[in-house]
Amino acid sequence: MNFDLTPRLRDLRDRTRRFIREEIVPMEADARQTAHGPSESLRADLIARARVAGLLTPHASREMGGLGLSHLEKAMVFEEAGYSRLGPVALNIHAPDEGNVHLLEQVATHAQAERWLRPLVEGRTRSCFAMTEPAPGAGSDPSMLATVAVREGEHYLITGTKWFITGAEGAAFAIIMALVEDQGATMFLSDMDSPGIRLVRQMDALDSCFTGGHGVLQFDQLRVPASSVLGEVGKGFKYAQVRLAPARLTHCMRWLGQARRAHDIALAYARDREAFGKRLGEHQAVSFALADNDMDLQTTRLHIWHTAALLDGGRHGGFESSRTKVVASEALWRVVDRCVQMLGGRGVTGESEVMRIFADMRAFRIYDGPSEVHRHSLGGKIFAGRGPTD
C-alpha cells in the first residue's frame, strides 16, 4: 500500500489545516455553543466559511457538489478538520450527516437524492438516522428492532420510539429503520415536520459537539409513501452496513484530529510549565506520557489508513473497520486522558480545550457499537476462520 500524498491531496490537506487553525479554532469561544451542540446560527456561520474556502462536504460526489474524496483522502482531510471540535461541523462532515450522505449516494433513487440529499450536501439542511431504541428495543443488537411499519395501500404507517438520535432537533429529515411484517427491517425517508413525528425531549449527554444534540423521537402512525422507502423493503440491515462500515472509520478520522489537538496543547504546556526546578517535559513521567501519546496517535493513524486503503480497493471492510474502531477509540481515549493528567488543573477546567475534548471523546467508545460488541463479533469471526485475509 502506498500512502504517499499526491500534490493535489497534499494541497487539500494543507488548505484544510490552515482553514481550521485560522478561521475555525478562533470561533471555539463563540457563545452560541450550547450543552446540546453548536446552535443553528453558529452552524450556519461555520458552513458559510467552509463554502467560501471550497471545503464544504468534501466527501460527497462531484455530481452532488462535493470533492469526491476516496476513503484514504478522507482520512487526511477529516483528521485535519477534527483538530477543532467545530471543524467537522464547518465542513459538513459530522455524524450523522456524513454517514447519511454516503448512504443516500449509494441507495437513494434520483428523486430521493434531489429532494433530500442535494440540500444536505449543500449544507442547507441537516438529517438524523433513527435506528436506536430504548430497551427492550434495538441497541447494540439490531435484531431487537421494535418500531414497525404497516403497509396501507400506497403508504406505510410507522409506529415506535427511537432513542439517543443524534441531531434530531432541527433536522429536516430522518432515515428511519422499521420492521415490515414478513419482510424484515426497512429504511424509510421522512420529513421531520410530518404529522406523526414528535421530538419528545432532548437528552443530556457528556458530549456537546453535535448540532441538535441527542433526542428521543416518537412515531405515532407516521404516514410515509411507498416511494419514500430507501432501497428495497426488507434490506434495512444490509443498508445499515453500507452506512456503518465507512462511518465507523470516519469517526476514527475525526477523533484522531481531536486527540492530536489535545496532545499539542499538553506538549506546549509541558515545554512552558516549570515544577521542581525544571520544565514538566523534562520529568520522566511526563516524557513517557508524551511518548505513549505519540505511539497511540501513530498506531491509530496507520490502522485508519490501512482500512481506508482496503475500502478503496473494493473490500467490504467490515472486519477491518470494527477492529480499527476499537483500536482507535481506546488509543485516542488514552491520549486525551494522559493530556488531562499532564495539564493538571487546566485539564479539568474550561481554561483548556482539553476538558471539552475529554468529555466529547468518552462517548466514542460507545458510538457505532461499543468496544465489547466489536470484540465479540471479531472474536467470533476469528474463531470460525472468517477473519481478515491478507
Judge residue 215's burial from the number of C-beta atoms within 10 Å of its C-beta, 0-12 exposed, 13-18 middle, 19 or more buried.
Answer: buried
**Residue 109, in any domain of the structure:** no
Q: Are residues 287 and 362 in the same domain?
A: yes
**Residue 210, in any domain of the structure:** yes
**Residue 2, in any domain of the structure:** no
Place of cell 487526511: 76
Distances in whole angstroms, Cα of residue 303 to Cα of each of 214, 300, 308, 328, 381 = 29, 5, 8, 8, 19
Q: Are residues 211 and 131 in the same domain?
A: yes
pLDDT at residue 2, as a whole number: 66
User: CA 218, CA 89: separation in Å to the nearest integer?
Assistant: 26
Q: Are residues 160 and 43 in the same domain?
A: no
**Residue 104, in any domain of the structure:** no
The answer to whether the beta carbons of residues 254 and 86 sit under 8 Å apart is: no
Of 211, 232, 253, the position where a domain reaches its end is 232
Beta-bridge partner residues of 173: 127, 191
Least Cα distance to 199 among 124, 130, 141 occurs for 130
**Residue 112, in any domain of the structure:** no
Kindly list the averaged pLDDT for each block of 10 residues, start to end, along the chain of length 390: 82 97 97 96 98 97 96 96 98 97 97 98 98 94 95 98 97 98 97 98 96 98 98 96 90 97 98 96 97 98 94 86 96 98 96 96 92 94 81
What are φ and ψ of residue 178, in 5° steps?
A: -145, 160
pLDDT at residue 389, as a whole number: 57
Of 44, 72, 94, the position where a domain reaches its end is 94
Least Cα distance to 59 among 325, 321, 253 occurs for 253
Beta-bridge partner residues of 166: 214
Judge residue 153's burial from the number of C-beta atoms within 10 Å of its C-beta, 0-12 exposed, 13-18 middle, 19 or more buried.
Answer: exposed
CATH number of the domain that residue 216 is part of: 2.40.110.10
Of 94, 114, 139, the position where a domain reaches its end is 94
Which residues, 6+ apart, have CB-to-CB distance to 358 below 8 Å?
262, 336, 337, 339, 340, 347
Q: Are residues 181 and 59 in the same domain?
A: no
pLDDT at residue 327, as a whole number: 97
Q: Are residues 82 and 180 in the same domain?
A: no
Place of cell 450556519: 44
CB atoms within 10 A of CB 272: 10
The answer to whether the beta carbons of residues 345 and 268 sit under 8 Å apart is: no
Long-range contacts of 136-143 (CB under 8 A, 24+ apart): 137/161, 137/163, 138/177, 140/369, 140/370, 140/373, 142/177, 142/185, 142/237, 142/240
pLDDT at residue 255, as a whole number: 97
CATH number of the domain that residue 58 is part of: 1.10.540.10
Q: Are residues 374 and 241 in the same domain?
A: yes
User: CA 26, CA 20: separation in Å to the nearest integer?
Assistant: 9
**Residue 102, in any domain of the structure:** no
CB atoms within 10 A of CB 374: 23
- Dmax over Cα atoms in the chain, in whole Å? 80
The C-alpha cell at 70 is 476516496
pLDDT at residue 316, as a whole number: 75
pLDDT at residue 268, as a whole number: 98
User: CA 31, CA 40: separation in Å to the nearest integer?
Assistant: 12
Q: Are residues 208 and 263 in the same domain?
A: no
Q: Are residues 78 and 16 in the same domain?
A: yes
pLDDT at residue 1, as a whole number: 61
CATH number of the domain that residue 363 is part of: 1.20.140.10
**Residue 264, in any domain of the structure:** yes
The C-alpha cell at 241 is 452496513
Q: Are residues 297 and 200 in the same domain?
A: no
Span 86-98, pLDDT tens digits: 999 999 999 999 9
If one counts the domains in the chain, the total is 3
Q: In which domain, by residue range, is 375 found?
A: 237-383
Span 242-294, pLDDT tens digits: 898 889 999 999 999 999 999 999 999 999 999 999 999 999 999 999 999 99
pTM score, whole prediction: 0.94
Q: Are residues 37 and 57 in the same domain?
A: yes
Q: Are residues 376 and 243 in the same domain?
A: yes
Q: Are residues 347 and 245 in the same domain?
A: yes
User: CA 291, CA 274: separation in Å to the nearest integer?
Assistant: 19
User: CA 386, CA 294: separation in Å to the nearest integer?
Assistant: 32
The answer to whether the beta carbons of residues 274 and 319 sit under 8 Å apart is: no
